[in-house]
């Protein structure tokens, strides 16, 4: 396990001095429902990518290819916004 | 007395005038405030300086004191030298934000014009407002008169901004008794104040720093404790920073400011402890009683946070009875806040004096020489007999 720093070694006032460090925080474990993509129905409109609050929609070559399950909290916004109903929310334990 | 190196101008000022003048001379980048009696004239006067273009300050007139302190925090985090002022219930409305200012290590400087907290509703002086926030992480300094209101605001600001400290500071004076009483105040020229406080050097500044960073993120069991430990360390550096700022101020003005101040305490059998304007009345009573051959003295407590426990032990250790007078009740506690602190500071003194407590003056109830003579009388009885009848008693209540 990583050794945590002592009070003399950290920035004052609880400042975070490096940008984008939320990436180091695994929020995927919070999930109850998991988004699952039906690739055949998806037309790559990327509305899910626009709406995802956790930048957890993985896009390659302008195509929706899946989810970043390390950070996806399972909020279901992508499934609700998808005009093609290509995303299903599935209970984690049923998957 | 030290050599005075700045020309001073005598002005007739109320406590509020004096604090407003100090703020004007500081010329802070941002002031966010909401008016409340008896602080109102301070902010009104300062707002006039803003309107007349005598300061460069961005004055943010907010909708509440919670917003005032929140705006101060935003401004200070952006890199601005920031000041405000309040009283009583307005101060109470700032409560949660006071802690945030301290924990973000933002050296905001605030005048608190002491007024009783509701209820029942009251606009007159006691120390229930500032005393309640003694654990909020702010430096707390009590001024006796308009002169101290002016001087201590400048000293507090300089100490708060010291990079070994980086904590907000509040300077108190008694509502109406001092805020609305005019006295002659020795004031510095604007340039001398500017040189004394120096340019503002924020420890971090959202609007000035080139590298992006985050202020105020979530801080759980893994690091919250470490950040609080850092904050305690800042508090522990405050006495040295205050002493340094006071010494430099003394060179400028000849006025000496220590965390405690004694008056005719040498060889005294009884020393009364008081904060704020009551110290002035007590000094008069000491003279009267000394004239009658009674061995009494006074210790004025100026700095309450950080509590100067060594100085208190040194000042009081040799006496027989200490009479702690406090203008505040701490409901359910064994005595008032100053009683608890003073008694604790004396615990390891080999000649430990006896300590009694008087709560007085709540809601602006007058404290005259007769009542303080009564307190000294009981102290002299305890000093003679060694017997305390009642640890905590009240002066002037029916």
The 10s digit of each residue's pLDDT in B99-119 is: 999 999 999 999 999 999 999
Higher-scoring residue by pLDDT: A93, B231: B231
Gap between the Cα atoms of B216 and B103, Å rounded: 9
Q: Under CATH, to which class is B9-253 assigned?
A: alpha beta
Whether residue B326 is predicted with pLDDT greater than 90 in this model: the reply is yes
Whether residue A95 is predicted with pLDDT greater than 90 in this model: the reply is no
Gap between the Cα atoms of B148 and B181, Å rounded: 13
Residue B77 · residue B206 · CB < 8 Å: yes
Whether residue B184 is predicted with pLDDT greater than 90 in this model: the reply is yes
Task: Give the pLDDT mean for B379-387.
Answer: 98
Please state the domain extents for chain B: 9-253, 260-395
Nearest residue on chain B to A2, judged by CA atoms? Answer: B222
Whether residue B329 is predicted with pLDDT greater than 70 in this model: the reply is yes
Higher-scoring residue by pLDDT: B149, A24: B149
B214: chain A residues, CB-CB within 8 Å: 15-16, 19
Gap between the Cα atoms of B109 and B97, Å rounded: 14
B2 confidence band (pLDDT: 50, 70, 90): low
Task: Give the pLDDT mean for B310-328.
Answer: 98
pLDDT for position B152: 98
B33 confidence band (pLDDT: 50, 70, 90): very high
Nearest residue on chain A to B229, judged by CA atoms? Answer: A7
The 10s digit of each residue's pLDDT in B120-170 is: 999 999 999 999 999 999 999 999 999 999 999 999 999 999 999 999 999
Nearest to A7 among B104, B214, B229 (CB): B229
Taking the Cβ of residue B105 and every Cβ of chain A, the question of whether any pair is shorter than 8 Å is answered with yes
Task: Give the pLDDT mean for A35-58.
Answer: 97
The 10s digit of each residue's pLDDT in B265-308 is: 999 999 999 999 999 999 999 999 999 999 999 999 999 999 99
B13 membership: H or E segment, kind and range: strand B9-13
pLDDT for position B66: 98
Query: Is there a shared CATH topology between the B9-253 domain and the B260-395 domain?
Result: yes
Neighbouring CB atoms inside 10 A of A61's CB total 6
Domains and their CATH numbers in chain A? 39-95 (3.30.70.20)
From the number of C-beta atoms within 10 Å of its C-beta (0-12, 13-18, 19+), residue B59 rates as: middle
pLDDT for position A93: 84
A56 confidence band (pLDDT: 50, 70, 90): very high
Q: What percent of chain B has pLDDT over 70?
A: 99
pLDDT for position B3: 66
Task: Give the pLDDT mean for B3-28.
Answer: 94
Arithmetic mean of pLDDT over chain B: 97
CB pairs under 8 A between A and B: 49
A19 confidence band (pLDDT: 50, 70, 90): confident
A20 confidence band (pLDDT: 50, 70, 90): confident
Q: Is the ipTM of this complex over 0.90?
A: no
pLDDT for position B178: 98
Nearest to B230 among A12, A18, A19 (CB): A12
Helix ranges (DSSP H) in B214-368? 224-253, 278-291, 309-316, 337-345
Residue A10 and residue B230: Cβ atoms within 8 Å?
yes
The CATH fold of domain B260-395: Rossmann fold (3.40.50)
Task: Give the pLDDT mean for B59-72.
Answer: 98
The 10s digit of each residue's pLDDT in B336-352 is: 999 999 999 999 999 99
Task: Give the pLDDT mean for B315-327.
Answer: 98
Taking the Cβ of residue B305 and every Cβ of chain A, the question of whether any pair is shorter than 8 Å is answered with no
- pTM for this model (two decimals): 0.93
Annotate chain A with three-state secondary structure: CCCCCCCCCCCHHHCECCCCHHHHCCCHHHCCEEEEECCCCCCCCCHHHHHCCCCCEEEECCEEEEECCCCCCCCCHHHHHCCCCCEEEEEHHHC
| B53 Rama class: left (phi>0) / alpha (psi -120 to 50) / beta | left
B335, B257, B245, B4: CA torsion to nearest 10: 170
Taking the Cβ of residue B398 and every Cβ of chain A, the question of whether any pair is shorter than 8 Å is answered with no
Whether residue B220 is predicted with pLDDT greater than 70 in this model: the reply is yes
Nearest residue on chain B to A15, judged by CA atoms? Answer: B215
Gap between the Cα atoms of B297 and B262, Å rounded: 7
The 10s digit of each residue's pLDDT in A63-86 is: 999 999 999 999 999 999 999 999
From the number of C-beta atoms within 10 Å of its C-beta (0-12, 13-18, 19+), residue B251 rates as: middle
């Amino acid at each position: 396990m990583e050794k945590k720093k002592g009070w003399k070694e950290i920035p004052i006032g609880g400042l975070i001095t490096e940008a984008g460090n939320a990436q180091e925080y695994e929020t995927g474990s919070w999930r109850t429902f998991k988004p699952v993509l039906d690739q055949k129905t998806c037309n790559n409109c990327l509305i899910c990518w626009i709406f995802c609050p956790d930048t957890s929609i993985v896009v390659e070559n302008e195509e929706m290819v899946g989810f970043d399950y390390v950070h996806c909290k399972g909020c279901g916004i992508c499934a609700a916004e998808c005009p093609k109903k290509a995303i299903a929310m599935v209970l984690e334990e049923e998957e | 007395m030290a050599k005075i190196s700045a020309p001073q101008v005598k002005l007739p000022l109320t406590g509020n005038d004096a604090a407003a003048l100090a703020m004007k001379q500081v010329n802070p980048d941002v002031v966010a405030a909401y008016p409340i009696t008896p602080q109102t004239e301070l902010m009104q006067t300062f707002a006039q300086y803003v309107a007349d273009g005598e300061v460069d300050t961005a004055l943010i007139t907010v909708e509440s004191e919670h917003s005032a302190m929140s705006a101060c925090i935003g401004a200070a985090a952006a890199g601005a030298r920031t000041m405000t002022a309040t009283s009583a219930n307005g101060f109470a409305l700032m409560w949660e934000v006071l802690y945030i200012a301290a924990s973000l290590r933002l050296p905001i400087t605030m005048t608190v014009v002491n007024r009783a907290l509701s209820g029942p509703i009251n606009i007159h002086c006691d120390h229930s407002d500032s005393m309640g926030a003694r654990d909020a992480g702010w430096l707390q300094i009590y001024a006796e008169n308009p002169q101290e209101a002016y001087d201590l605001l400048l000293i507090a600001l300089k100490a708060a901004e010291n990079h070994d400290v980086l904590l907000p500071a509040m300077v108190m004076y008694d509502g109406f008794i001092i805020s609305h009483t005019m006295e002659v105040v020795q004031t510095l020229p604007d340039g001398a104040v500017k040189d004394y406080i120096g340019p503002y050097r924020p420890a971090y500044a959202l609007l000035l720093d080139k590298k992006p960073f985050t202020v105020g993120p979530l801080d759980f069991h893994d690091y919250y404790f470490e950040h609080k430990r850092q904050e305690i360390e800042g508090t522990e550096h405050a006495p040295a920073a205050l002493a340094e700022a006071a010494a430099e101020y003394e060179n400028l003005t000849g006025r000496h400011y220590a965390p405690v101040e004694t008056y005719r305490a040498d060889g005294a059998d009884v020393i009364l402890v008081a904060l704020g304007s009551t110290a002035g009345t007590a000094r008069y009573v000491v003279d009267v009683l000394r004239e009658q051959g009674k061995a009494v003295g006074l210790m004025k407590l100026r700095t309450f946070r950080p509590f100067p426990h060594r100085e208190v032990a040194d000042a009081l250790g040799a006496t027989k009875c200490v009479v702690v007078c406090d203008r505040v009740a701490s409901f359910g506690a064994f005595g008032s806040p100053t009683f608890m602190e003073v008694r604790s500071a004396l615990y390891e003194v080999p000649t430990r004096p006896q300590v009694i407590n008087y709560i007085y003056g709540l809601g602006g109830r007058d404290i005259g020489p007769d009542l303080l003579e009564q307190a000294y009388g009981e102290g002299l009885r305890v000093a003679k007999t060694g017997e305390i009848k009642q640890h905590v008693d009240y002066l002037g209540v029916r």
